[in-house]
Amino acid sequence: MAVDFWLLEAPDSLAKQSEINADGFGLASLTTDHELMLIKKPVEAGTDTSFQNTARHLEAAEIVVHLRFASTGGKTIANTHPFIQDGRLFAHNGIMGDTDRIEAELGEDRAMITGDSDSERLFAVITMAIRQQGGDVRAGIREAVNRLADEYELYALNFVIAEHGQIWAFRYPDKNDLFILERKAGGTGGSDALDAHSRDGNLHVRSGEAAEVPIVVVASEKISDEAGWEEIRSGELVHIDSDLKVDRELIIDHPPRHQMVLKGHEEKTQSL
């Protein structure tokens, strides 16, 4: 699907939001013929030429975008989302504690980690669990997040994992929002393009092809006033397959046993 991605000249664009979330941006696309494009830099998206040129017209089957407001880890490309491990993309909105313990438990497998962010270490835990489950992504995520919820200090584990033909989204606990929209071709009007603005004035995305093809959007806020947006529940794992079939499963039904209490800069990063 072709997308005029996060319209740059709009006052409520993703580029405008990056003035706040200015510690880095990542833009990844996966096509149906198994091509992967990833652009990420530890700079403000709205001032970067490569972001501007790519964002104006992007065509892909799956698109992942992340703007970083750093809670842990320096402002470097190694700490900029999305991350790649075992051919999968990962973007995270939250904070994970006990990172030294995680790294120690990874042992030699910590070589897959290139930066010093908590997000990349969280991804490594999930990646290792998927390997231990024989490549079963659902089982690996379930095992990893339940163990993290029971044994590790955390604030929020909201994340998206994408691989060719598959997207997984998870929210836990209810500290940070996560929403999903299953949009039929043409939207509620039957022939409408996607021209969505977030109510909070952060995002704008437009696609003429959405008048003819269905789409599924997962976002940290509702980016349009269309009917059909649903909140992903705390502990709920969402899976979207190549046919845009969505299934949702509650995989954790209790709060974290070691809930982090944020202060100062960390608290600010989670309140925007």
For 163-190, how does the pLDDT look when each residue is reduced to its tens digit (9 = 90+)? 999 999 999 999 999 999 999 999 988 9
Question: Is the CB of residue 80 less than 8 Å from the CB of residue 41?
Answer: yes
Q: What is the pTM of this model?
A: 0.82
The structure tokens listed for 112 are 């897959």
What does the longest C-alpha to C-alpha distance in the chain come to? Answer: 54
Burial bucket for residue 233 (CB in 10 Å: 0-12, 13-18, 19+): middle
Residue 153, pLDDT above cutoff 80: yes
3-state secondary structure at position 106: helix
Q: Which stretch of DSSP H or E encloses residue 166?
A: strand 166-171
Q: Residue 39 has what pLDDT? A: 75
Residue 36, pLDDT above cutoff 60: yes
Between the alpha carbon of residue 230 and those of residues 2, 154, 169, 210, 240, the distances in Å are 24, 25, 13, 19, 15
Q: Alpha-carbon torsion 17, 21, 25, 29, what sign?
A: negative
Reported as a single tens digit per residue, the pLDDT across 45-63 is: 555 566 666 656 667 668 8
**How many other C-beta atoms lie within 10 A of the C-beta of residue 249?**
11
178: left (phi over 0), alpha (psi -120 to 50) or beta: beta
* Amino acid (1-letter code) at residue 128: M
The structure tokens listed for 9 are 């000249």
Average pLDDT of the segment spanning 216-239: 92
User: Cα-flanking dihedrals φ and ψ of residue 216, to 5°?
Assistant: -125, 130
Q: Residue 46 has what pLDDT? A: 53
- Token pair 């996966």 is found at 30
Residue 233 carries which DSSP code? P
The closest of 152, 94, 147, 144 to 124, measured between CA atoms, is 144
Helices within 1-152 (DSSP H only): 14-17, 49-55, 99-106, 118-132, 137-151
Q: Residue 49 has what pLDDT? A: 63
What is the rounded distance in angstroms from the CA atom of residue 221 to the CA atom of residue 224?
9
